[in-house]
Structure 1
Amino acid sequence: MTVTKNIFIASVLSVFVASSAFAEERGTADEAMKLLDKAEAHFKTVGAEQAYKDFSSKSPEWQDRDLYVFCFDKAGVTLAHGANEKLIGKDLTELKDADGKKFIADLVKSGLTGGGWVDYRWTNPMTKKIELKSSYARPFGESVCGVGIYK
């Protein structure tokens, strides 16, 4: 009976450890806000053009696990994207999430009105699965930049 009990306890602990490790692979809301603050300071220091290039690079300074910086102009055209540089220059206002929500338009609107969180369902670049995502966007000069977390 003791061996069976020990195997059960070991199994439960391994699930807990695996869950904890997975949770650590995801960025938190606090970490997202710190990255966005850092991005805003960088934007103010180096200017918009250089900041957009930097945010779109694969530098660990601007990408941390599933956290990355993205920026749009007021019309929803991508200026910077830390996860997919192929989106730069594209108008994404009509882009819909897995539930049909035009979330880029919502992010731009939220950012232009001072900032806020927008929830949507999107493919996590780490897991390749559609997951609930929440992104915070706020104005950076004439653009809107943000960072999102997968939940």
Structure 2
Amino acid sequence: MEAEAMIPVAISNYALQKIRAEMSVPYEQIGLLIGELTNGQLMVTDAINGTSSASRSLSVLSPEILAEVADDIINNRISGRIVGWYHSHLGSGVFMSPIDIETHAKLQQFSNHVIALIVDTSVNQFGIFTYDPQLGGLTQLPEEYISII
């Protein structure tokens, strides 16, 4: 079976606005990205805060929030599915830390198309990381694969 290529990602302005609103606090944030895989493109339509505990250098995705979101999807209270997660770094750059890689691996067990959106709030930059089957690991998605809708 041939490995799938990286797929383009479209992020709604609505989801980005929700993420930006959460980033005004002086500690790291984490949450889930909601959307669909359609026509060979990953569409991110919403973002849900998932922080259960946080500091300036660490945030933890709450298992309770993950379970609640999954239940809301199953019971049609949320339209779409979990397509990824987001996380902020406070002035340390846009990269995947070892803890970020571990978090991503937990969500990736459900789909290879799960993305990580990492935001550095101090420089107002973000990057999207995805599994690259040709590398057998995570890689930052090139800008030409990302659109804001």
Length-normalised TM-score, structure 1 = 0.31
Bigger radius of gyration: 1
Q: Which protein is richer in strand relative to its size? A: 2
Q: Quick one: higher RCO (CA 8 Å, sep 6+), 1 or 2?
A: 2
